[in-house]
Structure 1
Amino acid sequence: MRAGKIAGVEIIVNNWFLGLIAVFAVAGLADKALLIVSAVLLHELAHMLMAGGLGYKVKQVELLPFGATARVERLTDAGAVSEIMIAAAGPLASLGLAALCYVAAGGAGSWQEEIYFYGETHLMLAGFNLLPALPLDGGRILRAVLTRRRDYRAATAIVVTMSHIISCLLIVLAGLIFLLDYTVNLTMLVAAGFLLLTARTENTLAGFRTMRILARKKAELIACGIMPTRHLTAIEDAAISEVIALFGPEQYYIVHIVDQNFKLCGALTETEVWEGLLKKGIRARIKEFL
């Protein structure tokens, strides 16, 4: 559901988020529901400020049950360091706000209970978002770290698998709580369902990222006539999978191929590598592309 715009950023309220707020309202905790909403907005504001500081434009923010997701222009094309900085900004802000609440609660008088609750909300928001599951911040950080060693799609698949495992563990934990004291933990069940459904979407989108990045690079090169380039050198028998694993989103790549005596055999542009990959396959050797 669209809730309007703030400073040109469209605000979307996810149905799962509405359901969680409705549960709090039915339980007579509408005031606490408002505190949760403000905590989520502050968490997301930290992401937006970091993204803006790194030169990315925030187009849309979607409020989710346990955080929010910012639709940042070209964020999927960002390098690992940028993605880690943007993803980490939210949990760090929530942890900082939680600390401030606990410090302030001591002299809050009659507001002490509310401030403690607000601090706990920030703490839980940070803790949940640091779980290594997509689309949470922890999952994005882990994926960015993994892309230093593997391609984006493989890194996404690993984190999606972890997301499914965490979802199952949350369901099992909710079941144990029910068996021990006959209490249904709706929050935990909503979290499990949310992660199961949204992780699949991340896996699907990952498959389109490589071609989108290449198209952007080609468009920038045509428009500007020049762009930052990185050169790689590969032995002619190197697997093409090992070569493309080194391709990053922020530079255009030229691959120099040498033989066993380190004599230059030829060179390939990043575009030639990707186009050749469609014909030769992921198991091919780089010399087959010449």
Structure 2
Amino acid sequence: MIKCGGIRWSIHPLFIIVMLASAVTGYFAELLTLFILVLVHELGHVVVAKGFGWTIREVKLLPFGGVAEVDEAGGITAKEDAIVAIAGPLQNVWMGALAWGLGVAGIWDEAWAQYVGQANLMIALFNLLPIYPLDGGKLLQALLSYMMNYYRMLIWSARLSLLFSAMMLLGALFPLIGGEGIQLNLFIVGTFLLVSNWTYHRNIPYLFYRFLTHRSNQAEDVSEQGKTVSPIIVNGKQSVLSVAKLFNRERYHLVYVIGASSTGLQVLPEGRIVDGCLSGLNPHRAVSELFS
């Protein structure tokens, strides 16, 4: 592990396994090239994220890209998340084009230029698969954020990621039907993604509370900036947590509570709902109790 620019950079054990296998089989030059391509891919994410003011604590390099740990996770807009996600594959586009150009110009051996070009294509396309934490998985989350509330987005992105990870594993095992061996690299990566997304699915309650923590920190800024808010109409008997689960990542809300008192209708800013979840009191109590 090294620290550069305030970011810890480390190599995931999965990448180390691939390195050792490549060294044994005599493909070390190809592996070194792959490492450089993955590093530049991840630097694309880091540079754009830094441009948005994100605080990146650590980046773990994997054979197909990297996983970044950021302080703002849960408080990032879908637009920013999508731009940062696509920045990685775009690095592979220009590197692949450069390799092709060097091959055509005769500066690089044609076979080597073809290998580098294909490696970039493979990394870019693989990362665009709709599986979290791949770039495609983050793009999927950004898209779902415009279609549903944040909690449902977490649920559905996890479900779809698990589905596609399982399909990848089946694809790795498919050659067995014809009496051939499994596609080992695909099997290893598919297993890693399946386990990662199973953990992600189990951690959804924690991820949701992290989202609420960011909403709490942003509530004052929203009121000061006079941003437009979206209404949510709920029954006073609904729990505070169930109301919070209706919050959309891209919007800020005023909560209209029916039957909260004899007056029939009362209004709560979303900050009161968030505080009701984070205060340490029972988040399953009725939302009408926030008026007492």
Shorter chain as normaliser: what TM range? 0.7 to 0.9
Call closer, same or farther: CA 1:246–1:156 in 2, change over 3 Å: closer
Could you say which residue in structure 1 is the equivalent of 2:180?
Answer: 182
For the 8 Å contact 1:149–1:245, the answer to whether it is kept is no
2:283 to 267, 278, 284: 278
Equivalent-residue separation in structure 2 for 1:43 and 1:8 (angstroms): 19
Question: Deviations 1:150-191 (Å, cap 9, x if unpaired)?
Answer: 233322222222223223322322233344473442211111
| Distance apart, 1:207 and its partner CA | 1.8
Question: Deviations 1:267-288 (Å, cap 9, x if unpaired)?
Answer: 102233242792347xxxx778
Call closer, same or farther: CA 1:213–1:28 in 2, change over 3 Å: same
| Distance apart, 1:135 and its partner CA | 1.1
Could you say which residue in structure 2 is the equivalent of 1:196?
Answer: 194
Equivalent residue letter for 1:105: G
Could you say which residue in structure 1 is the equivalent of 2:25?
Answer: 27
Equivalent-residue separation in structure 2 for 1:264 and 1:85 (angstroms): 44
Equivalent-residue separation in structure 1 for 2:254 and 2:94 (angstroms): 44
Question: Deviations 1:76-101 (Å, cap 9, x if unpaired)?
Answer: 31011111111111112212322222
Deviates more, 1:42-51 or 1:90-99: 90-99
Report the TM-score, using the length of structure 1 for normalisation: 0.82
Equivalent-residue separation in structure 2 for 1:125 and 1:169 (angstroms): 19
Could you say which residue in structure 2 is the equivalent of 1:212?
Answer: 210
Could you say which residue in structure 1 is the equivalent of 2:99?
Answer: 101
| Distance apart, 1:112 and its partner CA | 2.4
Residue 170, structure 1, aligned to residue 137, structure 2: no
Residue 248, structure 1, aligned to residue 261, structure 2: no
Could you say which residue in structure 2 is the equivalent of 1:269?
Answer: 269
Could you say which residue in structure 2 is the equivalent of 1:61?
Answer: 59
Equivalent-residue separation in structure 1 for 2:233 and 2:220 (angstroms): 30
Partner SS for 2:131: coil
Could you say which residue in structure 2 is the equivalent of 1:80?
Answer: 78
Deviates more, 1:98-107 or 1:121-130: 98-107
For the 8 Å contact 1:94–1:122, the answer to whether it is kept is yes
| Distance apart, 1:255 and its partner CA | 3.0
| Distance apart, 1:237 and its partner CA | 5.4
For the 8 Å contact 1:131–1:139, the answer to whether it is kept is yes
Equivalent residue letter for 2:100: Y
Partner SS for 1:245: coil
Equivalent-residue separation in structure 2 for 1:270 and 1:16 (angstroms): 42
Could you say which residue in structure 2 is the equivalent of 1:117?
Answer: 115
Question: Aligned pair count?
Answer: 280
Call closer, same or farther: CA 1:265–1:175 in 2, change over 3 Å: closer
Partner SS for 1:273: helix
Equivalent-residue separation in structure 2 for 1:55 and 1:195 (angstroms): 28
Call closer, same or farther: CA 1:233–1:264 in 2, change over 3 Å: farther
Equivalent-residue separation in structure 2 for 1:223 and 1:56 (angstroms): 17
Could you say which residue in structure 2 is the equivalent of 1:161?
Answer: 159
Question: Deviations 1:177-226 (Å, cap 9, x if unpaired)?
Answer: 34447344221111111111111232234322333333344456679995
Equivalent-residue separation in structure 2 for 1:264 and 1:229 (angstroms): 27
Call closer, same or farther: CA 1:225–1:77 in 2, change over 3 Å: closer
For the 8 Å contact 1:132–1:139, the answer to whether it is kept is yes
For the 8 Å contact 2:244–2:273, the answer to whether it is kept is no
Deviates more, 1:18-27 or 1:232-241: 232-241
Q: CA RMSD in A?
A: 3.2
Structure 1 residues without counterparts, runs of 5 or longer: none
Call closer, same or farther: CA 1:257–1:163 in 2, change over 3 Å: closer
Equivalent residue letter for 2:246: A
Equivalent residue letter for 1:118: V
Call closer, same or farther: CA 1:183–1:248 in 2, change over 3 Å: closer
For the 8 Å contact 1:80–1:147, the answer to whether it is kept is yes
Deviates more, 1:225-234 or 1:264-273: 225-234
Call closer, same or farther: CA 1:97–1:226 in 2, change over 3 Å: same
